[in-house]
Amino acid sequence: MLNRSQSEAAFRRARGVIPGGVNSPARAFGAVGGTPLTVARADGPYLYDLDGNPYLDLIGSWGPMILGHCHPAVVEAVERAVRNGSSYGAPCEAETELAELVVGAVPSVELVRFVSSGTEAAMSAVRLARGATGRDVIVKFAGCYHGHVDSLLVSAGSSALTLGVPTSPGVPKGCTADTRVLRYNDPQGLADLFAAEGDRVAGVMLEPVVGNMGLVPPTGEFRAELRRLTRKHGALLIYDEVMTGFRLAYGGAQELLGDSPDLTVFGKIIGGGYPVGAYGGRADVMRHIMPAGPVFQAGTLSGNPVAMAAGIATLRELKRNPPYERLDRMGAAVEAGLRQAAAGAGVSAQFNRVGSMWTLFFTPTPVTDYDTARTSDTKRFARFFWAMMDRGVYLPCSQFEAAFLSAAMTDAHAAEVAAAARASLQAVAEERS
**305 or 152, higher pLDDT:** 305
Residue 221: pLDDT over 90 = yes
Residue 72 confidence (pLDDT): 98
Residue 327: pLDDT over 90 = yes
Average pLDDT across the chain, whole number: 93
10-49 CB burial, b ≥16 within 10 A, e <16: bbeebeeeeeebbeebbbbbbbbebbbbbbeebebbbbbb
The answer to whether residues 107 and 191 belong to one domain is yes
CATH number of 52's domain: 3.90.1150.10
d(CA 269, CA 33): 29
The answer to whether residues 105 and 225 belong to one domain is yes
d(CA 307, CA 113): 14
The answer to whether residues 314 and 356 belong to one domain is no
pLDDT band at 208 (very low <50, low <70, confident <90, very high): very high
> Sign of torsion, CA 369 59 164 253?
negative
Residue 69 confidence (pLDDT): 98
CATH number of 94's domain: 3.40.640.10
Residue 43: pLDDT over 50 = yes
Residue 399: pLDDT over 70 = yes
3-state secondary structure 81-104: HHCCCCCCCCCCHHHHHHHHHHHH
Active site residues: 145, 240, 268
**Last residue in a domain, options 320, 344, 368:** 320
Which whole number is the average pLDDT over 327-349?
97
d(CA 338, CA 352): 11
Q: Which helix (H) or strand (E) holds 180?
A: strand 179-182
Which whole number is the average pLDDT over 48-69?
97
160-164, 207-211, 265-269, 278-282: segment of lowest average pLDDT:
160-164
The answer to whether residues 131 and 47 belong to one domain is no
Residue 159 confidence (pLDDT): 43
Residue 151 confidence (pLDDT): 73
Residue 174 confidence (pLDDT): 73
Residue 347: pLDDT over 90 = yes
Query: Which residues 6+ apart lie within 8 Å of 148 measured at CB?
Result: 119, 168
The answer to whether residues 249 and 189 belong to one domain is yes
Q: How many domains does the chain have?
A: 2
The answer to whether residues 209 and 83 belong to one domain is yes
Torsion, Cα of 42, 43, 46, 47 (10° steps): -10
| Domain extent for 279 | 72-320
The answer to whether residues 168 and 272 belong to one domain is yes
Which whole number is the average pLDDT over 266-279?
96
172-186, 288-302, 307-321, 364-378: segment of lowest average pLDDT:
172-186
Residue 154 confidence (pLDDT): 67
**What is the percent of the chain with per-residue pLDDT over 90, rounded to a whole number?**
89
Residue 166 confidence (pLDDT): 42
Classified as helix, coil or strand, 253 is: helix
Residue 260: pLDDT over 90 = yes
The answer to whether residues 164 and 223 belong to one domain is yes
Q: Specify whether the CB–CB gap between 43 and 18 falls below 8 A.
A: no
The answer to whether residues 82 and 221 belong to one domain is yes
Residue 160 confidence (pLDDT): 41
The pair phi, psi for residue 267, each rounded to 5°, is -175, -165
The answer to whether residues 61 and 163 belong to one domain is no
129-176 tens-digit pLDDT: 999 999 999 999 999 999 877 777 665 544 444 333 445 667 777 777
Residue 373: pLDDT over 80 = yes
The answer to whether residues 307 and 340 belong to one domain is no
**Last residue in a domain, options 273, 298, 320:** 320
**Last residue in a domain, options 320, 337, 363:** 320
* Ramachandran assignment for 396, one of left (phi > 0), alpha (psi -120 to 50 degrees), beta (any other): beta
Distances (CA, A) of 315 to 14, 209, 268: 35, 21, 12
The answer to whether residues 28 and 164 belong to one domain is no
d(CA 242, CA 270): 9
Residue 147 confidence (pLDDT): 85
User: Where does 246-338 show beta strands of DSSP type E?
Assistant: 263-266, 277-281
